[in-house]
């Protein structure tokens, strides 16, 4: 059974149709990269998955559980949405780290707030805190930020900030980690370090959806590529096939702009 | 000069009493206006149209008219027009009416500063919190609030310093603050009459108090310098 099933998602803003009948599925441990020109709906799709936007139509299932069904108001209750969001993690283009917290605190904050809601929190406060801190430390080590744990975001480079943001998203152990153009706000020489950690995550079989303009990366890291154009999935499939033998003329046009450099 | 030195102890004692009333009005206004301003700010940002409309009208009226007129209306209107004096007599009644006027007035100014501060925090901060499964109130208190405070310290400092001086407006309803205390020596009080210097001397109190506040607020600003 796929870990994620997206069925017939539609979303309009005012009168502009941004997503028109989007369907795809994703197996556990797989990586899908979504490519396409700006305005094709890639970001909106990720935002729908993370409940930052509410689709007008469609169904969203994770591990077979219906998280969202536009036809069923019960699936849209605020309290429920909070819990459902935790199936997904989202790494933003502009990092959105919390500036008043250190790298460690950024990674720990959400988990600590969740732990506080546990009934036995008061009794085991110290252990819980230590466990969360230990886990955050491991994550930051994994991101290559062992010596940056106590720095504030403004003291870090863009690439370091984005790696903290990835650690922060991983701290909640989401089933599916989403990336919204994770390197688009970075200086070219800093994209490599971010792509490297994402690649490592892929090697560890982290289920990921990656929206990116880094075509070589999209091809190499993914098990599946989706090409979006004007709110629809125009083409999807094996990366090699989509990149080397695109079926659609529009895909070929889009890709040629990148290969011509 | 000799006369002034002779009058000094009596005047200082009287001015101190007046200044205590000034400080009381100052602190009560801040304690009331800080939270009320936040309520008004949320009101004016509300997606519920009638609520935001009403709060915007309120802010318009309060910011669009002199505080002195507001003081006069709030103090005299219930008794003189509605024949139901709600403030009670004496200094206590005057202080209550002055407090209400000042809190309302400053809350409206604060609300606009808060609104700017809240809207100045990038929307991505809230979205990052939501995606991490935080509730709206956790996002406000753990993420937005401090960033907002950092943004509003300079404009709020300005208002706080203006408030110190604005308390003198309460003189218009005969609240016995420091200007009232200084003026008393012109009309005659405790054997001193026709003396204008005590009134001028009140400026020293304002100046010193504002000096202390400027220093404290500067420190707060510096303290929040650790993040950007």
Supply the pLDDT for residue B85: 82
Tokens of A218: 């999209």
**Which residues of chain A are within 8 Å of residue B133 when distances are taken between CB atoms?**
82-83, 85-86, 110, 114, 172
Q: What are phi and psi of B157, to 5 degrees?
A: -55, -45
Supply the pLDDT for residue B89: 80
Chain centroid to CA B159: 7
Domain count, chain A: 1
Tokens of B85: 């004096």
CATH number of the domain that residue A145 is part of: 3.40.50.300
Supply the pLDDT for residue B202: 94
Residue A259 has pLDDT above 80, yes or no: no
Supply the pLDDT for residue B155: 95
Q: Is B208 exposed, middle or buried (0-12, 13-18, 19+ CB in 10 A)?
A: exposed
User: So what's the architecture of B2-226 in CATH?
Assistant: Orthogonal Bundle (1.10)
Ordered by start, the domain boundaries in chain B are: 2-226
Supply the pLDDT for residue A260: 61
| B154/B156 Cα distance (integer angstroms) | 6
Supply the pLDDT for residue B190: 86
- Residue ranges of chain B whose pLDDT lies below 50: none
- Helix (H) / strand (E) element for A66: namely strand A65-69
Give the SS3 label for residue B85: coil
Pairing of strands A31-35, A208-211: parallel
CB atoms within 10 A of CB B216: 12
For residues B26-56, one letter each, b for 16 or more C-beta atoms within 10 angstroms of the residue's C-beta and e for the rest, the string is bebbbebbeebbbebbbbbeeeeeeeeeebe
Best B124, B126, B133 residue to mutate vs chain A (most A CBs within 10 Å): B133
Q: What pLDDT digit, counting tens, does each position of B158-216 carry?
A: 999 999 999 999 999 988 999 999 999 988 888 888 888 999 999 999 999 999 999 99
Is residue B228 within 8 A of residue B121, CB to CB? The reply is: no
Is residue A66 within 8 A of residue A33, CB to CB? The reply is: no
Tokens of B156: 């709020």
ipTM value: 0.92
Residue A261 has pLDDT above 70, yes or no: no
Range of the domain at A169: 4-259
| B182/B176 Cα distance (integer angstroms) | 10
Supply the pLDDT for residue A236: 94
pLDDT band at A15; cut points 50, 70, 90:
confident
Residue A246 has pLDDT above 60, yes or no: yes
| A248/B10 Cα distance (integer angstroms) | 95
**HEC string of B60-117?**
HHHHHCCHHHHHHHHHHHHHHHCCCCCCCCHHHHHHHHHHHHHHHHHHHHHHHHHHHH
Residue A199 has pLDDT above 80, yes or no: yes
Q: Given A100, A110, A169, which is nearest B146 (Cβ)?
A: A100
Of A74-83, A175-184, A247-256, the one with minimum mean pLDDT is A74-83
The verdict on a CB contact (< 8 Å) between A94 and B132 is no
**Which residues of chain B are within 8 Å of residue A83 when distances are taken between CB atoms?**
133
Nearest chain A alpha carbon to B148: A100
DSSP class of A234: E
A61 or B7: whose pLDDT is higher? A61
Supply the pLDDT for residue A74: 76
Q: What are phi and psi of A55, to 5 degrees?
A: -60, 150
DSSP class of A76: G
Residue A6 has pLDDT above 90, yes or no: yes
CB atoms within 10 A of CB B72: 16
Average pLDDT over residues A112-136: 90
Average pLDDT over residues A135-139: 96
């Amino acid at each position: 059974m796929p870990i994620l099933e997206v069925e017939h998602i539609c979303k309009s803003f005012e009168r502009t149709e941004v997503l028109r009948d989007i369907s795809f599925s994703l197996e556990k441990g797989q990586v899908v990269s979504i490519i396409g020109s700006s305005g094709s709906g890639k970001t909106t799709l990720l935002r729908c998955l993370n409940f930052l936007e509410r689709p007008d139509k469609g169904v969203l299932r994770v591990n077979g559980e219906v998280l969202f069904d536009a036809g069923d108001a019960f699936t849209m209750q605020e309290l429920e949405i909070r819990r459902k969001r935790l199936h997904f993690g989202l790494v933003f283009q502009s990092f959105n780290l919390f500036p008043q917290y250190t790298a460690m605190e950024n990674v720990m904050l959400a988990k600590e707030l969740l732990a506080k809601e546990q009934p036995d929190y008061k009794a085991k406060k110290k252990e819980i805190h230590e466990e969360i801190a230990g886990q955050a430390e491991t994550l930051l080590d994994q991101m290559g930020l062992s010596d940056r744990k106590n720095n504030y975001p403004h003291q870090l480079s863009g690439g370091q900030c984005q790696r903290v943001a990835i650690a922060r998203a991983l701290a909640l152990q989401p089933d599916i980690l989403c990336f919204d153009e994770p390197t688009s706000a970075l200086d070219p020489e800093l994209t490599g370090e971010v792509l490297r950690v994402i690649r490592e995550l892929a090697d560890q079989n982290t289920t990921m959806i990656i929206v990116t303009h880094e075509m070589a990366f999209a091809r190499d890291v993914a098990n599946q590529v989706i090409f979006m154009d004007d709110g629809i999935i125009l083409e999807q499939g094996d990366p090699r096939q989509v990149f080397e033998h695109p079926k659609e003329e529009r895909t070929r046009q889009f890709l040629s702009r990148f290969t011509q450099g | 000069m000799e006369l002034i030195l002779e009058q000094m102890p009596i005047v200082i004692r009287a001015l101190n009493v007046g200044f205590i009333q000034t400080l009381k009005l100052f602190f009560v206004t801040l304690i009331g206006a800080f939270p009320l301003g936040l309520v008004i700010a949320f009101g004016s940002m509300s997606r519920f149209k009638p609520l935001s409309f009403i709060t915007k009208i309120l802010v318009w009226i309060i910011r669009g008219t002199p505080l002195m007129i507001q003081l006069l209306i709030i103090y005299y209107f219930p008794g003189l027009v509605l024949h139901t004096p709600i403030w009670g007599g004496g200094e206590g009644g005057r202080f209550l009416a002055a407090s209400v006027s000042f809190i309302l007035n400053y809350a409206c100014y604060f609300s606009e500063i808060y609104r700017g501060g809240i809207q100045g925090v990038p929307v991505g901060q809230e979205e990052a919190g939501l995606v991490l499964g935080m509730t709206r109130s956790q996002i406000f208190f753990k993420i937005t609030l401090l960033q907002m405070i950092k943004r509003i310290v300079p404009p709020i400092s300005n208002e706080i310093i203006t408030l110190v001086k604005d308390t003198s407006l309460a003189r218009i309803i005969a609240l016995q603050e420091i200007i009232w205390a200084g003026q008393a020596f012109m009309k005659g009080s405790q054997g001193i009459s026709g003396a204008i210097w005590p009134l001028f001397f009140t400026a020293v109190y304002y100046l010193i108090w504002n000096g202390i506040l400027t220093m404290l607020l500067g420190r707060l600003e510096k303290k929040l310098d650790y993040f950007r």
